[in-house]
């Protein structure tokens, strides 16, 4: 299988509080991705320091402090999904960062209105996915397995 990769997807506190864990997982499973890890995290992990590291690329933005505070406001459902082009396709499933720019049928297009409550985080590059996965999961928390559906999802090369 070419371009098989892992991506990090987190359901933010608004998505958890609104009961969207199941519908969001269903979207990734229906697409054909395989879950490699999942955990529901709340203080002390993620801590503000943990979240600052996760969002370090946004540290110079005016909304950074509010983002860290918001992400610490409730549980976060952290997940690792695996499959062909998982990062790019995962971002497509999520929709645009600003829900107003997200197409209907995407997670943000269907479940979000404001950018500050956009339900999910998704890795934007393979390199960032690897960093984010390592930040949120220990190696022994990642499960390697082959879905019985694999041959029905992917063509053999």
Which residues does the annotation mark as catalytic? 121
Is residue 126 within 8 A of residue 113, CB to CB? The reply is no
How many CB atoms neighbour CB 45 within 10 A? 13
b/e for 119-157, b at 16 or more Cβ within 10 A? bbbbbbebebbbbbbeebbeeeeeeeeebeeeeeeeeee
- Contact yes or no for 111/20 (Cβ under 8 A): yes
Question: Integer distance in angstroms from the first to the last C-alpha of the chain?
Answer: 7
Alpha-carbon distance of 71 to 42, in angstroms, equals: 9
Tell me: is residue 84 an annotated ligand-binding position.
no
The answer to whether 65 is annotated as binding is no
**DSSP letter (8 states) at residue 29:** H
The answer to whether 63 is annotated as binding is yes
Q: Is 118 annotated as a binding residue?
A: yes
List the binding residues for ATP.
Answer: 12, 63, 91, 97, 108, 118
List the binding residues.
Answer: 12, 63, 91, 97, 108, 118
């Amino acid at each position: 299988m070419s371009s098989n990769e892992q991506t990090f997807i987190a359901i933010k506190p608004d998505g958890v509080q609104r009961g969207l864990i199941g519908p969001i997982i269903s979207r990734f499973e229906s697409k054909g991705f395989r879950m490699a890890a999942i955990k529901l995290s709340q203080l002390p992990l993620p801590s503000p320091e943990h979240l600052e590291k996760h969002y370090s690329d946004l540290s110079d933005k005016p909304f950074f402090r509010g983002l860290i505070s918001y992400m610490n406001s409730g549980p976060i459902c952290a997940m690792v999904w695996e499959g062909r082009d998982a990062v790019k396709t995962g971002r497509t499933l999520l929709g645009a960062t600003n829900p107003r720019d997200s197409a209907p049928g995407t997670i943000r297009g269907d479940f979000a209105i404001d950018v500050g409550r956009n339900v999910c985080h998704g890795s934007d590059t393979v390199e960032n996915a690897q960093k984010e996965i390592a930040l949120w999961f220990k190696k022994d928390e990642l499960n390697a397995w082959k879905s019985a559906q694999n041959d029905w999802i992917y063509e053999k090369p």
